[in-house]
Chain A
Amino acid sequence: MKNLIALIPLLPLIGFLINGLGRKHLPKGVVGIIGSGTVLGSFIISLVIFLQGNFSATPIKYFDFINVGSLQIPFAFQVDQLSTLFLLIITGVGFLIHVYSTSYMHGEKREHFGRYFAYLNLFVFSMLLLVMGANYVIMFIGWEGVGLCSYLLIGYWFKNIDYTKAAKKAFVMNRIGDLGFLLAVFWIIAKIGSVQYEDVFTAASLDKLTPSDITGITLLLFLGATGKSAQIPLYTWLPDAMAGPTPVSALIHAATMVTAGIYMIARSNALFVNAQVTNTVIAIIGAATALLAATIALRQNDIKKVLAYSTVSQLGYMFLALGCGAYTAAVFHVMTHAFFKALLFLGSGSVIHAMSGQQDIRFMGGLKSKLKITYLTFFIGCLAIAGIPPFSGFFSKDAILLSAFEHDKFLYAIGLLTAALTAFYMFRLLFITFNGGFRGTEEQRHHVHESPAAMTLPLIVLAILSIVGGFVGVPEVFLHGGERLGEFLSPVIPTAHHTISHSTELMLMALTTVIAIVAIVIAWMRYRNYKEEQNGALGKLLQNKWYVDELYDSVVVKPINKLGVIANHYFERSGIDYLVNGVGRLVNYGGRQLRWMQSGQVGSYVLLMVISMVAFFFLQFFLRK
């Protein structure tokens, strides 16, 4: 069992090594098989572990990682219900996306194809480390690893300077969050003296923390989560991260990596339940992010940008759930979101593939008849994200809204509004892309074709998962003995009991559904036949993403640049440079002045010797007495 568990992350690592080292020699087929096969292996092992069902919170220790004084950090994995669920999502969705990639990336050169799969495998490895680690340090290793892979994959087409800039932006933004995470870990070490989950989450350890400690630690952890999971104020990197290949967006920037923050907070729920301030902050930031990103998504014309903002918005939803204490709901939404968002991204990839790289939906349209499978699966994805029953998104979103309603009515209202907006912009995207007349070039019209099976099969599987994935968490209202997910996770995450009556719950569900359907109808009426939109003031504001990037640019980047220029000019040039050059010049000058001493003539050396002998004896006999 121990070795089997170790194999889960090891397989992708081996795949990474083979693909990375042999990228110039291996044919594409072999690379694809190794890349997908290793992840499939991990998935099968995860499935076996899941089906065996003997989870335990005791960590499985492999070796001592850090052993300094009283601080002991073993390299250990913890395979309990929560991590198993994430394992299944990561390896399952990851495998589908790997298969999809073998076809999507087929146009790349052999070397770059191998590089792509090496990065992808490395990402899966890091992500698995992140969720399997039995302490914060292992989690942090994975956390940094996924950040690195995200950077590498966003900048995969590194010859395009904008893409590398996007990668840099993602990396820097993530670093800000990582700093918070790191400080939180230090704080935990300082107060508790251990980073093992089993030690930290015990009542005895938690007693050592004062309320301000808990607030500080959880706020710092949340800062880490905002970086990785793209929340206000650090969300702007995610839309730019769409510079990477579409399967990467699906895997990293929709299904897995960006949910790391949710995993981390769900994992640390024992800390967070006692931190009221932090929970309020999380809920507010989550709701605000959800609304803000949803409004921006209304007026985006890049198919991937819409999905990116939708991802940010959905992540905001999850944080809203976390802030309301509904950890199960958040994890549930992570799962369903992984299904339908991966599906939507892969569908968009299929569309982009068919349109020979065109990403602007204004130049698409009428693809319904040509891309039947893509259209159908995309449609299912849209229904799922819009929260139409009985698709998966309905159940998870409903669970979140329910807990928000319980917690705070205002937050619920924001959530509801966001749900309506979500339905609206997703169907706007769908209608503009697939309905109406074709608006691309003649060349593209001839080129448009359905994608090969390697791409459509993952779409179909994910579509099925998007339909049925929600049934693991059917609420009590519909089915006695529902909430199976909550029950499954209950050893790790204490189950929250709803205090709301069933009739209220049903009413809320009906409200959500009606609002979503109304939004869809409005979208149908407006965008069935797409015409150029006239942007009002608000539209312009939305199209430019509330000018947040510009705001950051002028508030953070420019002053720092200015500071840099000033520092460069005054401290570097006239301070440090001057000093350093001065030392150099002094040595140079001294050397030139002392050159006569090294005449090379024996006589002068003897003279110096005698003089120093005099000095030595003088010191010896007269001064040391």
Chain B
Amino acid sequence: MGITQILFWILAAASLLSALMVVISKSPVYSVIWLIVTFFTISAHYVLLNAQFLAVVNIIVYAGAIMVLFLFVIMLMNLNKETEPQKNRWLKLIGAVAGGCLLVVMVAALRDTDSRMAQLGSGNIGLIQNLGAVLFKEYVVPFEISSILFLSAMVGAVVIGKKEDSKVVDIAGDEAKRRVAEARESMGV
């Protein structure tokens, strides 16, 4: 068993453990932290598979941007309490059993698939220069379309997150004006 195999097993155990902790943790903040750990282990898997571009993107996008967003939201709403209302015990059990059944069924089904190897540590398709070439040659249109997707998601997020009451905005404006006026007064202008 080479070093890569050992690394794989260690990483696999770490990602499973941290994923479990995401689900088990009582506090949302801990969950987020564990999820970040999970993402890091998955990125490590990518590195192991010599998919360095994705490993980097995974860390930047997921562990960096997305999880930070999650943390922001949790902290903004002050949800860092451990008093989450608990689901019905039976429903929880049924949910867990159903998930377990799915795992068992799938594993049992895929147990005797052909054994084929995945290339570890070598092969350079995952490098930025190769992926970039393919991305900007053959997949340039989807790439551009994804930018439109981002734009629309941004607009959507703003529209949804905006306070529905337009009066509130006005009041905020008044508030700002008042403050400006106060500041001017205090400065003696």
Chain A positions near chain B (C-beta within 8 angstroms) = 603-604, 607, 610-611, 613-614, 617-618, 620-622
Contact = CB atoms under 8 A, between A and B. Distances in A.
Interface stretch (B12-20, B24-32, B60-68, B90-98): B90-98
B101 A614 contact: yes
A603 B86 CA distance: 13
B7 interface: no
Given A604-B91, A614-B102, A617-B109, 10 more contacts: A607-B94, A607-B98, A610-B95, A610-B98, A611-B101, A614-B98, A614-B101, A620-B109, A621-B109, A622-B109
B94 A617 contact: no
Contacts of A604: 91
B87 interface: yes
Nearest to B87: A603
15 contacts: A603-B87, A603-B91, A607-B94, A607-B98, A610-B95, A610-B102, A611-B98, A611-B101, A613-B102, A614-B98, A614-B101, A614-B105, A617-B105, A617-B109, A621-B109
Contacts of A613: 102
B106 interface: yes
Nearest to A620: B109
A50 to B, nearest CB: 86
B99 interface: yes
Contact of A621 (B94, B95, B105): B105
A607 B91 contact: yes
B113 to A, nearest CB: 11
Contacts of B105: 614, 617-618, 621
Nearest to A611: B98
A613 B91 CA distance: 18
B155 to A, nearest CB: 25
Interface of B is mostly: helix
Contacts of B95: 603, 607, 610
Nearest to A621: B109
Interface string B74-117: 00000000000001000100110011011001101100000000
B114 to A, nearest CB: 15
A617 B98 contact: no
Contacts of B106: 617
A604 B90 CA distance: 12
Interface of A is mostly: helix
A617 B109 CA distance: 8
Contacts of B94: 607
Contacts of A622: 108-109
Interface in B133-151: none
Nearest to A608: B98
Interface string B40-54: 000000000000000
Contacts of A603: 87, 91, 95
B90 to A, nearest CB: 11
Interface string B117-128: 000000000000
Nearest to A609: B98
B91 to A, nearest CB: 7
A614 B109 CA distance: 11
Nearest to A622: B109
B48 to A, nearest CB: 29
Contacts of B91: 603-604, 607
Nearest to B103: A614
A272 to B, nearest CB: 81
Nearest to B110: A621
Nearest to A618: B105
A611 B97 CA distance: 10
A617 B87 contact: no
A290 to B, nearest CB: 89
Contacts of A607: 91, 94-95, 98
Contacts of B87: 603
Contact of B99 (A610, A618, A620, A621): A610
B26 to A, nearest CB: 18
Nearest to A604: B91
A610 B94 CA distance: 11
A607 B87 CA distance: 13
Contacts of A617: 102, 105-106, 109
Q: Most A CB atoms within 10 A — which of B95, B98, B109?
A: B98
The 5 closest A-B pairs by CB, nearest first: A621-B109, A610-B98, A614-B101, A617-B105, A614-B102
B177 to A, nearest CB: 44
Nearest to A617: B105
Nearest to B100: A614
A618 B108 CA distance: 10
Contacts of B98: 607, 610-611, 614
A329 B88 CA distance: 98
A622 B107 CA distance: 12
B98 to A, nearest CB: 5
Contacts of B99: 610
Q: Most B CB atoms within 10 A — which of A614, A617, A618, A620?
A: A614
A471 to B, nearest CB: 100
Contacts of A618: 105
A271 B94 CA distance: 83
A622 B101 CA distance: 14
A603 to B, nearest CB: 7
A603 B87 CA distance: 10
A614 B96 CA distance: 13
Contacts of B101: 611, 614
A208 B182 CA distance: 117
A618 B105 CA distance: 6
B119 to A, nearest CB: 28
Nearest to B99: A610
A610 B106 CA distance: 12
Nearest to B101: A614
A610 B97 CA distance: 10
A611 B91 CA distance: 13
B156 to A, nearest CB: 20
A566 to B, nearest CB: 54
A604 B98 CA distance: 12
A603 B99 CA distance: 13
Q: Most A CB atoms within 10 A — which of B94, B102, B105, B109?
A: B105
A618 B102 CA distance: 9
A360 to B, nearest CB: 87
A537 B173 CA distance: 114
B117 to A, nearest CB: 24
A620 B94 CA distance: 23
B38 to A, nearest CB: 21
A600 to B, nearest CB: 15
Nearest to B109: A621
Contacts of A620: 109
A542 B108 CA distance: 96
A13 B91 CA distance: 75
A614 B106 CA distance: 8
A233 to B, nearest CB: 75
B5 to A, nearest CB: 29
A607 to B, nearest CB: 6
